[in-house]
Amino acid sequence: MSDAKARTYVCSIERFDFILPLVVCEHVLQILAPLSELLQAKDSDLIEAMKETKAVYAVIQNERNDDMVWDALYASAVDFAATIDVEPSSPRCAHRQTLRANTPANSIDVYWKRSVFFPFYDHVLQELDDRLLGCSERFIAQYLIPSNLGQLTDNRVNALYEAFKADIPVSMAVFHTEVKRWITRWSLEDEENMPSSLQDTLHSVNPDLYPNIFTVLSVLISMPVSTASAERSFSVMRRVKSYMRSTMSTERLSALAMLHAHKDMPVDYEAVVKEFAQGKSRRLVFLFNNKESQ
C-alpha cells in the first residue's frame, strides 16, 4: 500500500462522522451476535431462533426509545475521538441541500441522533421483522418433526394451516386428520428411530400417504433464514476450484464440491471403485487391485 493511499484511509478514519457510527454499530451488533451465530449453525433450531429474535427485537426497540442509551453511546464516541484529538462535529446545514440529507438539529448530538442513531435502529428492526418475524408462522412447521410432535397442539396446527393455506389445497379438517395420522404413526415407533432433523424427516415421509405434510416440510426446508449455507458453498468452490483445476468440467466440480461439503457422510468405497472401473474397460485394473488387496 502506498503512503498516499494509507494517508487517505487515515484521514477518512480520523473523523467524527466515522467514529460515531462505528460505536453505534458495535453496540447493536453485540446484541445481534448470539442470534447470528444461532442462525448460522447447520442444525439451527428455527423455533428457538424465533424466540431469540423476539427478545432481540424487544431489546433494540427499547433502546431505540431510551434517551439514556443514546447519551451513553454519544459520550463513548466523544471519549474515543478525544484519544486521537478529534473534536465532535456535524455537517453544515444548508437551506437548499440536494446532495445529502439536510437533517434539522440545534446541536451536534441531536444531529447525529436523528441522522444515524434512529435510522440505523429502525433499519435493524425492519430487517428483523421482514426476514425472521414475518415468517415466524411458517417456522411452526418444525413441530412436525417426529422428535417435536409432543409439542404440537391443536392451536399450532391451526396456525400452521393458516400459514401454508396457499400451498395446501385441502380444508382445515382434512389437514387436521392427516396430522393426527402423522402423530399416531410416529407414536408407534421407538424414540431412537425418530428423525430429529428436518432433512431426515423429509426423507422418511411418504408423499402419497402424507401429501400435505410433505408439501409443508418441502416449503420449510427451502426457506433459508440466513445466507450461511450459500456462503459455505462458495467457500467450498473457492477451495476446490484452484488455479491447478481451472479446466475441470461442471459435473466434476459439482461432485467434488458435494464431497467436500458433506465429508461427514459415510462413503461406500467399494461401490465407488466398482462404478469407476465399469466406466471403461481399461479401468478394470482398479477393480481387480481392490479385490486383491482384500
Same domain as 82, residue 25:
yes
- Please tell me the predicted confidence (pLDDT) of residue 273: 73
Same domain as 211, residue 187:
yes
* Final residue before a domain boundary, out of 135, 161, 180: 135
- Please tell me the predicted confidence (pLDDT) of residue 224: 62
DSSP character string of the chain? --HHHHHHHHHHHSSHHHHHHHHHHHHHHHHHHHHHHHHHSTT--HHHHHHHHHHHHHHHHHHHT-HHHHHHHHHHHHHHHHTTT-----PPP-SS--SS-----SSHHHHHIIIIIHHHHHHHHHHHHHHTGGGTTGGGGGGGSGGGGGG--HHHHHHHHHHTTTT--S-HHHHHHHHHHHHHHHHTS-GGGS--SHHHHHHHS-TTTSHHHHHHHHHHHT--SSSHHHHHHHHHHHHHS-GGGTT--HHHHHHHHHHHHTTTS---HHHHHHHHHTTSGGGHHHHHHHHHH-
Same domain as 124, residue 34:
yes
Rounded to two decimals, what is the model's pTM? Answer: 0.67
- Please tell me the predicted confidence (pLDDT) of residue 230: 62
- Please tell me the predicted confidence (pLDDT) of residue 38: 83
Same domain as 119, residue 27:
yes
- Please tell me the predicted confidence (pLDDT) of residue 293: 54
Range of the domain at 159: 138-221
Same domain as 109, residue 13:
yes
Same domain as 144, residue 35:
no
Same domain as 194, residue 289:
no
Same domain as 129, residue 7:
yes
Domain count, the chain: 4
Mean pLDDT, 10 residues at a time, the chain of 294 residues: 77 89 94 87 74 92 94 94 90 68 81 92 92 80 87 89 88 92 89 82 89 90 64 73 77 81 77 73 59 53
* Final residue before a domain boundary, out of 83, 103, 135: 135
- Please tell me the predicted confidence (pLDDT) of residue 99: 66
* Final residue before a domain boundary, out of 78, 106, 135: 135
Same domain as 290, residue 199:
no
Same domain as 287, residue 188:
no
Same domain as 89, residue 71:
yes
Same domain as 207, residue 286:
no
